[in-house]
């Protein structure tokens, strides 16, 4: 009884040969038909319809309805577009796989869905040499050396997995982009991928290097206002669209971490983005311009993106969207939301989440990230008064921008199970589900994923190797327990054992895995050297970003600005992000800051130990290979949690000069 995780959440059992019909034929509809022919077990015939009425038009060509006709003799999945029919198909199969289609439900289906964002996009940080920046699941899926001649079957499986959760776009190369991606040789390869992805509604985008005109085209400059440069881009766009007529557009990292950009020529981000936007406009292409501008010598890095981009509000073309990381620094276990989400009324902005666990224990630690992304999406920016959540700022409901999008940096590689940690698949899944519908709860997403991933797909019971018989219902209940006790608590546990109370960026230089608040590596970037982020000294700890310090709090709207600015009203889980706090400061628990810090680190360790216990209890219900894999990784996580706690507490204790409370475990 073994599974290797390669089937992801798509472990459908064979169907019961009901009649599946579609009047219209097309590659996309053929996929929908065959998915249902292969896996639909409901017994009732299913009809797929692409039609145009008012209701369906309102749902858009990706939205759909699923309805049982009167008398219960037929289910119809309808959409104004083929893509919607395919998404409706996967919706129906998901209900089936998660046990939500008992007879009564089957008889009365009346579902109507439309996606919250127009573009739901993965960003792969895959290099052309096959390595992946911050990738922890093997090498790149894209076998550039074999393409365009050899087409790996995994490309289609990848497209299908994305379609099954509503992801409709993908940037296949690293934002630290090689100019070579735009060479004709590579574009021929990209075209093959685009052809495989197309029937699944998955559109290709590319990251570009801003100095491509010089680096690849041999021009003497890449100045965005130079005529020859503009012409070079025009020719390039023509070439791309002749190969890939539905090409999505460009993602750009400019003037950040040494990447070239318009500022090299005295131009603004807007001038750079607009030049590319104008070039792509005739083909309906778009530009996603990243706001991650990082210069390590800044006095407060957290303020930089806002300072550079806020003055540019209204200066971008309407086919440009500014892509903002959830936090103002860099994908830390917990950050406040980036104030830039609350700064632009006339510019379309989109969130960039990180699915790959660069700062959350790579593929060794179990950390379900839906709670983190929801925390960001649900945050109120107060941009237009109360209720201006990031979800509403970005999904088009607050401002009628024609372009809405949400992106996630992928955690996918060529490992057999795609993502390294079996539970890392849950984050790919959760990103897709939230991008489709940001009001879904983390609990629901976790439950859906667990059931599809671990429930036995056939029969009402399983016979364990130990000779026991276990009912599926019991497994179902155990998985719900796993959801509430492990998945839902896992991100907070990482925060606790790595950097609680608003601490951030005390990672080891280079690899970003373990602790190094003491970093003393001479060639590290200046901001990595202590005390930059933690500011620990004999008085206290934390970065004063209040009005008495860097005044980053001033980048937030009232009343949040005042709330964050005051040490007594700032949420404690962000306290040390915004304030330098005395070691003896009294926390809400009544403990001093130092004691609270000790408790938080210790709690993180104990949480992981509890995850181990809960997981061990799953042994009878989970196939052997995946059970063992997770068990082994939890061992690493538990050891790492102790390492983090001991290292950080012993380091900070030099400054606090106070004992670790006796009731807590001693550092070894
Ligand atoms: O998180 C940091 C990473 C870099 C990454 C950069 C970015 C792709 O450490 O590896 O580069 O952010 O987002 O551009």
The answer, yes or no, to whether residue 464 has pLDDT greater than 80, is: no
Confidence band for 305, pLDDT divided at 50, 70 and 90: very high
Confidence band for 566, pLDDT divided at 50, 70 and 90: very high
Say yes or no: CB of residue 330 within 6 Å of ligand 1.
yes
Q: Rg of the chain's alpha carbons, rounded to an integer?
A: 25
- What count of other Cβ atoms lies within 10 Å of the Cβ of residue 619? 13
Of the residues 19, 146, 257, 468, which is catalytic?
257
Looking at CATH, the fold of the domain delimited by 20-113 is given as Chitobiase; domain 2 (3.30.379)
Atom of ligand 1 nearest to the CA of 330: 1
Whole-number Å distance, alpha carbon 482 to ligand 1 midpoint, is 32
Residues of the chain with CATH 3.30.379.10: 20-113
Say yes or no: CB of residue 228 within 6 Å of ligand 1.
no
The answer, yes or no, to whether residue 81 has pLDDT greater than 90, is: yes
Say yes or no: CB of residue 253 within 6 Å of ligand 1.
yes
What are phi and psi for residue 170, nearest 5 degrees? -155, 135
The answer, yes or no, to whether residue 609 has pLDDT greater than 70, is: yes
CA distances from 258 to 166, 293, 352, 359 (A): 34, 10, 20, 21
CATH class of 120-442: alpha beta
In percent, the amount of the chain with pLDDT more than 90 equals: 93
Say yes or no: CB of residue 175 within 6 Å of ligand 1.
yes
Say yes or no: CB of residue 134 within 6 Å of ligand 1.
yes
H or E stretch including 240?
helix 227-243
Of the residues 82, 300, 308, 330, which is catalytic?
330
pLDDT in tens, 624-634: 999 999 999 99
* Helices H / strands E in the chain, number of each: 20, 17
- DSSP annotation of 70 reads G
Residue whose C-alpha is closest to residue 422's, from 1, 108, 9:
9
- DSSP annotation of 552 reads G
Which residue, judged by its Cα, is nearest atom 3 of ligand 1? 134
Mutation choice for ligand 1 from 358, 508, 524, CB with most ligand atoms inside 8 A: 358
Examine the residue annotation and report whether 239 is marked as an active-site residue of this protein: no
Atom of ligand 1 nearest to the CA of 133: 10
Mutation choice for ligand 1 from 176, 209, 407, 513, CB with most ligand atoms inside 8 A: 176
**pLDDT value, residue 70:** 78
Atom of ligand 1 nearest to the CA of 331: 1
pLDDT in tens, 474-492: 999 999 999 999 999 999 9
**pLDDT value, residue 6:** 96
The answer, yes or no, to whether residue 466 has pLDDT greater than 90, is: no
Say yes or no: CB of residue 335 within 6 Å of ligand 1.
no
Say yes or no: CB of residue 292 within 6 Å of ligand 1.
yes
Whole-number Å distance, alpha carbon 382 to ligand 1 midpoint, is 29
The answer, yes or no, to whether residue 16 has pLDDT greater than 90, is: no
Residues of the chain with CATH 3.90.1330.10: 455-543+580-668
Mean pLDDT within 248-260: 97
Burial class (CB in 10 A: 0-12, 13-18, 19+), 616: exposed
- Crossing angle of helices 593-617/488-498, nearest 10°? 140
Atom of ligand 1 nearest to the CA of 125: 8
Confidence band for 458, pLDDT divided at 50, 70 and 90: confident
> Are 423 and 366 in contact, with CB atoms under 8 Å apart?
yes
Start-to-end CA distance of the chain, whole Å, equals 40
Of the residues 308, 358, 476, 607, which is catalytic?
358
Mutation choice for ligand 1 from 124, 132, 133, CB with most ligand atoms inside 8 A: 133
- The CATH H-level (homologous superfamily) assignment of domain 455-543+580-668 is Alpha-glucuronidase, C-terminal domain (3.90.1330.10)
| Residue whose structure tokens are 């199969």 | 93
**pLDDT value, residue 297:** 83
pLDDT in tens, 100-123: 998 899 999 999 999 999 999 999
pLDDT in tens, 399-442: 999 999 999 999 999 999 999 999 999 999 999 999 999 999 99
**pLDDT value, residue 523:** 87
Residue whose C-alpha is closest to residue 89's, from 38, 51, 125, 132:
38
pLDDT in tens, 157-180: 999 999 999 999 999 999 999 999
Atom of ligand 1 nearest to the CA of 325: 13
Return the bridge partners of 462, or none. Answer: 470
Return the bridge partners of 389, or none. Answer: 380
Whole-number Å distance, alpha carbon 486 to ligand 1 midpoint, is 28
Examine the residue annotation and report whether 35 is marked as an active-site residue of this protein: no
> Are 149 and 376 in contact, with CB atoms under 8 Å apart?
no
Atom of ligand 1 nearest to the CA of 359: 1
Mutation choice for ligand 1 from 125, 126, 140, CB with most ligand atoms inside 8 A: 125
Q: Name which of 186-195, 253-262, 522-531 the model is least confident about.
A: 522-531
Which residue, judged by its Cα, is nearest atom 2 of ligand 1? 330
Examine the residue annotation and report whether 3 is marked as an active-site residue of this protein: no
Q: Are strands 169-171 and 119-123 parallel, antiparallel or unpaired?
A: parallel
Burial class (CB in 10 A: 0-12, 13-18, 19+), 137: buried
**Length of the chain (residues):** 668
Confidence band for 459, pLDDT divided at 50, 70 and 90: confident
Average pLDDT, the chain: 96
Confidence band for 1, pLDDT divided at 50, 70 and 90: low
Say yes or no: CB of residue 125 within 6 Å of ligand 1.
yes
Quote the Cα angle for 83-31-195, to 5°. Answer: 75
Confidence band for 379, pLDDT divided at 50, 70 and 90: very high
Among 95-104, 290-299, 564-573, top mean pLDDT goes to 564-573
Q: Name which of 15-19, 27-31, 213-217, 386-390 the model is least confident about.
A: 15-19
Whole-number Å distance, alpha carbon 257 to ligand 1 midpoint, is 8
Whole-number Å distance, alpha carbon 292 to ligand 1 midpoint, is 9
Residues of the chain with CATH 3.20.20.80: 120-442
> Are 436 and 461 in contact, with CB atoms under 8 Å apart?
no
> Are 433 and 372 in contact, with CB atoms under 8 Å apart?
no
């Amino acid at each position: 009884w073994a599974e290797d995780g390669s089937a992801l959440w798509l472990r459908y059992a064979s169907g019961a040969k009901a009649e599946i019909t579609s009047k219209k034929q097309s590659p996309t509809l053929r996929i929908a038909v065959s998915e249902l022919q292969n896996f639909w077990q409901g017994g009732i015939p299913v009809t797929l319809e692409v039609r145009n009425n008012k209701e369906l038009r309102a749902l858009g060509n990706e939205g759909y309805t699923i309805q049982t006709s009167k008398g219960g003799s037929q289910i119809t999945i309808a959409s104004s577009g083929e893509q919607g029919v395919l998404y409706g198909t996967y919706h129906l199969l998901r209900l089936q796989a998660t046990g939500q289609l008992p007879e009564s439900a089957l008889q009365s289906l009346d579902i109507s869905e439309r996606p919250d964002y127009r573009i739901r996009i993965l960003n792969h940080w895959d290099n052309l040499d096959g390595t992946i920046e911050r990738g922890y699941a093997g090498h790149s899926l894209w076998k550039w050396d074999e393409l365009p001649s050899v087409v790996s079957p995994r490309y289609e499986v990848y497209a299908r997995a994305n379609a099954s959760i509503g992801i409709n776009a993908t940037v296949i190369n690293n934002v630290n982009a090689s100019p070579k991606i735009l060479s004709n040789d590579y574009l021929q390869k990209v075209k093959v991928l685009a052809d495989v992805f197309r029937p699944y509604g998955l559109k290709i985008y590319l990251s570009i290097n801003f100095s491509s005109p010089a680096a690849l085209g041999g021009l003497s400059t890449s100045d965005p206002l130079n005529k020859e440069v503009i012409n070079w881009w025009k020719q390039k766009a023509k070439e791309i669209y002749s190969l890939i007529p539905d090409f999505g557009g460009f993602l750009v990292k400019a003037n950040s971490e040494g990447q070239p950009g318009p500022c090299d020529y005295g131009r603004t981000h807007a001038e750079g983005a607009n030049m590319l936007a104008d070039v792509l406009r005739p083909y309906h292409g778009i530009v996603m311009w990243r706001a991650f501008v990082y210069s390590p010598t800044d006095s407060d890095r957290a303020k930089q993106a806002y300072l550079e981009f806020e003055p540019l509000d209204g200066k971008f073309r309407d086919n440009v969207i500014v892509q903002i990381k959830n936090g103002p620094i860099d994908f830390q276990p917990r950050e406040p939301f980036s104030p830039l989400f609350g700064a632009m009324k006339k510019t379309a902005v989109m969130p960039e989440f990180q699915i790959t666990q660069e700062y959350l224990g790579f593929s060794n630690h179990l950390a379900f990230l839906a709670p983190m992304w929801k925390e960001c999406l649900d945050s109120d920016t107060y941009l237009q008064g109360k209720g201006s959540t990031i979800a509403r700022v970005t999904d088009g409901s607050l401002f009628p921008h024609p372009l809405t999008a949400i992106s996630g940096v992928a955690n996918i590689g060529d490992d057999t199970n795609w993502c390294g940690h079996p539970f890392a698949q849950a984050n790919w899944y959760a990103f897709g589900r939230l991008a489709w519908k940001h009001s879904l709860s983390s609990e629901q997403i976790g439950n859906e994923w667990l059931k599809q991933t671990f429930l036995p797909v056939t029969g009402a019971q399983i016979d364990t190797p130990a000779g026991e018989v276990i009912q599926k219902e019991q497994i179902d209940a155990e998985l719900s327990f796993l959801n509430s006790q492990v998945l839902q608590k896992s991100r907070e546990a990482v925060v606790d054992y790595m950097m609680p109370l608003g601490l951030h960026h005390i990672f080891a230089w280079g690899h970003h895995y373990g602790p190094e608040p003491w970093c003393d590596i001479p060639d590290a970037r200046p901001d990595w050297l202590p005390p930059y982020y933690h500011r620990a000294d004999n008085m206290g700890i934390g970065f004063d970003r209040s009005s008495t310090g860097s005044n980053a709090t001033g980048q937030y709207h009232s009343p949040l600005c005042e709330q964050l600015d005051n040490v007594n009203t700032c949420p404690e889980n962000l306290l040390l992000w915004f304030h330098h706090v005395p070691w003896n400061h009294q926390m809400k628990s009544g403990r001093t800051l130092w004691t609270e810090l000790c408790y938080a680190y210790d709690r993180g360790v104990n949480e992981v130990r509890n995850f181990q216990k809960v997981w061990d209890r799953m042994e009878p219900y989970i196939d052997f290979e995946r059970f063992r894999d997770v068990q082994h990784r939890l061992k690493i996580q538990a050891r790492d949690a102790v390492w983090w706690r001991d290292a950080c507490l012993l380091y900070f204790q030099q400054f606090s000069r106070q004992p670790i409370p006796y009731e807590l475990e001693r550092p070894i």
